[in-house]
Structure 1
């Protein structure tokens, strides 16, 4: 708070600055146009200091005049108001911010109302009125006695969740639609390739009967073509349901518009995470899907030297036995880290290093990270040979018809999806040990 002592200090400092400027001018040449750059700079600095202090002096005088007027008004109000005005100079800045009296007398609206009287006492019968004075200090403070109880929290709408794993597998497999609860497909179980070079027939003799019961004996010069064999099996993938529900109050749904959407999104994400877990690791028991890693007939590759050699051997098996061109390698982030940090004998990162901007690949196959894939095992294969049939995409239903929810003003929010899954060619996949 400005006092007469502080005003005097400002005046003293201003006189000192102007005196310094005068002395500089007297020592220099009489013609200012011939002053050196240094003299001009020193003179200008002192004059600027004096002008700045003069501005502060004007403000200080105005403040003191306002306080004197406020004290006169407070005297008419009574002793408590006088004490409040007098005590402003002794209160810490933090407390002065909260003071109602100081905010009134220091406001521009109060100063404008006093301006017509030009510092003279307000006539007894004069009408005195200010514009509305904002009392922000009433609602700001660090103590319970500074009106902090009136603070109302602002609702930002931000809801920070715990975060989720990235889901990548659904984008790899073949996704189709179905309108049935069971999906039928045909898988080839064996294939004998008997194709061979055949000489032209040189004999028209018919097959002869064997000496004992058995197949007819073909004439070796008859030009007979070899017979191959294929075997197929009809298989069925049953539609299964993945579902989850959570309780909520009707008040929460009504009062927080974003809550319903948040719950819907979280439920859908829960369903999607479980779906990926089923596609990769479902064990086929009960209502579980049978995932790729648990599917009967997929190939395996033991660890060989390092993760790169092991994956390469897995690729060979997928091509030579599964008769596919693998399109991805699925690994846990732990194994992806091994790939990224691998160095050659010269200490150089084998796969581009931290500044590499391209997609991560191993043996020209894209590396796909999935936390659902177990660490220590990579899955190599043609993921189009795994098919997901959507029977009913994720839906969300809200109802109060659950237990006693109706009389408790609560609702159950249910999300579910129905799907079937099958690996149509198991040998197209190879589980590779990476350690």
Structure 2
């Protein structure tokens, strides 16, 4: 039986199966009505229902067998396109030239921006080399794209969010507070407290990067486009984290938190002081400044050392390898970073109330063919950028320092 006959027979048997199934459903409904009225099913009705059920089962088996047969034919045609029939394989160029009428009409009326669509009857044939020897297996395409490992960035999540529509933000920073509140007698002068402020102007900084890519690659693989988007946004966030932490405020840089934070100066020390003690004493220093800390920032290596701290009998002090919880210490969230400059150091403070990040332009990805010689080389330039300004409103509440050995 030819492939065409198999497909035709499958279509006819499938239609017959649908008809028999409809009749069987109607007969079953009639039988149910009969049982409700008479309390039992007549022998004639039972025989008719059984006959329809048997016929339906036979048709289902035939349809399944035909589908298997047709599937095997399709798989052979995919594995060896054009060879079983003896036909030669045409390349895409050959198929394009074969459609001569369209090509002639296009050449006669060539205009700027005009595009010609050529119908390619069998792109699969054109994509497989025609000189592959018998028995050689075509290469297998592995799913997905192998990307570089990354970690989530949480430093932005600690800081209060904000928006701005200007190229710079004007804000007021509290620089001091002398509290002289006290109990006073009637008809006496009340004590005077002092709060000092300083006006600040912070320019919106632009963080961006770009790279080149082949236009054909991005056109052909939608998955690659989304991967490029994600990778570029990640690179942007990594640079943003460095600026939020260590920006020196010169030129176009943000004025980061660490350069403005107070040096670690504990109110007291403890015997055999460890990094865990350092973080608790830094919390105390923020509390004494009347700005309670709400998070820690430290390097991945330092956080691993803290988690692996053991007592004298070898038990973990903080970590439980069998039940790993979220990174927290002294009730505050831990933000681990791999910024190299931050190893052996820490930062704590009132991130939600003491700092605010104002977004002027959210992270976005733009693709253009009009950069340099992109049009000539059929390349595209992909740019990812964002604009933001950082306001550290209460720098005295932030504490930074190095861990004790």
The TM-score normalised by the length of structure 1 is 0.58
Q: For each residue in 1:173-221, what CA deviation from the matched residue of structure 2 results, as whole angstroms up to 9, or x when unmatched?
A: 11111111111221122222222333334xxxxxxxxxxxxxxxxxxxx
**C-alpha displacement at 1:276, in angstroms?**
1.2
Q: Say if 1:195 and 1:227, in contact at 8 Å, map to a contact too.
A: yes
Provide the C-alpha distance between the structure 2 equivalents of 1:230 and 1:133, rounded to a whole number of angstroms.
81
Q: With CA pairs under 8 Å and 6+ residues apart, which has the higher RCO, 1 or 2?
A: 2
**C-alpha displacement at 1:241, in angstroms?**
0.5
User: Per the alignment, do residues 352 and 269 of structure 1 end up closer, same or farther by CA in structure 2, a change over 3 Å counting?
Assistant: closer
User: Per the alignment, do residues 389 and 147 of structure 1 end up closer, same or farther by CA in structure 2, a change over 3 Å counting?
Assistant: same
- Any idea what SS the aligned residue of 1:402 has? coil
- Any idea what SS the aligned residue of 1:264 has? helix
Aligned partner of 2:295 in structure 1 is: 328
**C-alpha displacement at 1:146, in angstroms?**
5.4
Aligned partner of 1:79 in structure 2 is: none
1:236 matches 2:201: yes
User: Per the alignment, do residues 152 and 185 of structure 1 end up closer, same or farther by CA in structure 2, a change over 3 Å counting?
Assistant: same
Q: Say if 2:308 and 2:319, in contact at 8 Å, map to a contact too.
A: no
Q: Say if 1:351 and 1:360, in contact at 8 Å, map to a contact too.
A: no
**C-alpha displacement at 1:245, in angstroms?**
0.9
Provide the C-alpha distance between the structure 2 equivalents of 1:234 and 1:132, rounded to a whole number of angstroms.
75
Q: Kindly name which structure, 1 or 2, has the bigger radius of gyration based on alpha carbons.
A: 1
- Any idea what SS the aligned residue of 1:427 has? helix
1:426 matches 2:399: no
User: Per the alignment, do residues 271 and 365 of structure 1 end up closer, same or farther by CA in structure 2, a change over 3 Å counting?
Assistant: same
User: Per the alignment, do residues 403 and 180 of structure 1 end up closer, same or farther by CA in structure 2, a change over 3 Å counting?
Assistant: same
Provide the C-alpha distance between the structure 2 equivalents of 1:383 and 1:162, rounded to a whole number of angstroms.
30
Aligned partner of 1:162 in structure 2 is: 148
Match runs of 1:174-189 below 5 Å: 174-189=160-175
State the number of aligned residues.
277
Provide the C-alpha distance between the structure 2 equivalents of 1:306 and 1:269, rounded to a whole number of angstroms.
34
**C-alpha displacement at 1:156, in angstroms?**
4.3
Given candidates 330, 333, 342, the residue that maps to 1:366 is: 333
Aligned partner of 2:286 in structure 1 is: 318
**C-alpha displacement at 1:138, in angstroms?**
7.8
Given candidates 340, 360, 373, the residue that maps to 2:307 is: 340
Provide the C-alpha distance between the structure 2 equivalents of 1:137 and 1:361, rounded to a whole number of angstroms.
56
Provide the C-alpha distance between the structure 1 equivalents of 2:79 and 2:232, rounded to a whole number of angstroms.
44
Q: Say if 2:367 and 2:380, in contact at 8 Å, map to a contact too.
A: yes
Given candidates 132, 135, 147, the residue that maps to 2:134 is: 147
Aligned partner of 1:219 in structure 2 is: none
User: Per the alignment, do residues 224 and 136 of structure 1 end up closer, same or farther by CA in structure 2, a change over 3 Å counting?
Assistant: closer
Q: Which runs of 5+ in 1 are unaligned?
A: 1-130, 202-222
Match runs of 1:245-256 below 5 Å: 245-256=210-221
Aligned partner of 2:250 in structure 1 is: 285
User: Per the alignment, do residues 195 and 411 of structure 1 end up closer, same or farther by CA in structure 2, a change over 3 Å counting?
Assistant: same
Provide the C-alpha distance between the structure 2 equivalents of 1:227 and 1:433, rounded to a whole number of angstroms.
38
**C-alpha displacement at 1:307, in angstroms?**
0.7
Provide the C-alpha distance between the structure 2 equivalents of 1:132 and 1:250, rounded to a whole number of angstroms.
33
Match runs of 1:161-310 below 5 Å: 161-201=147-187, 223-295=188-260, 297-301=261-265, 305-310=273-278
RMSD of Structure 2 on Structure 1 (CA):
2.8
Provide the C-alpha distance between the structure 2 equivalents of 1:266 and 1:344, rounded to a whole number of angstroms.
42
Q: Say if 1:301 and 1:310, in contact at 8 Å, map to a contact too.
A: no
**C-alpha displacement at 1:145, in angstroms?**
8.9
User: Per the alignment, do residues 132 and 343 of structure 1 end up closer, same or farther by CA in structure 2, a change over 3 Å counting?
Assistant: closer
**C-alpha displacement at 1:285, in angstroms?**
2.4
- Any idea what SS the aligned residue of 1:356 has? coil
Q: Which runs of 5+ in 2 are unaligned?
A: 1-72, 82-130
**C-alpha displacement at 1:263, in angstroms?**
1.5
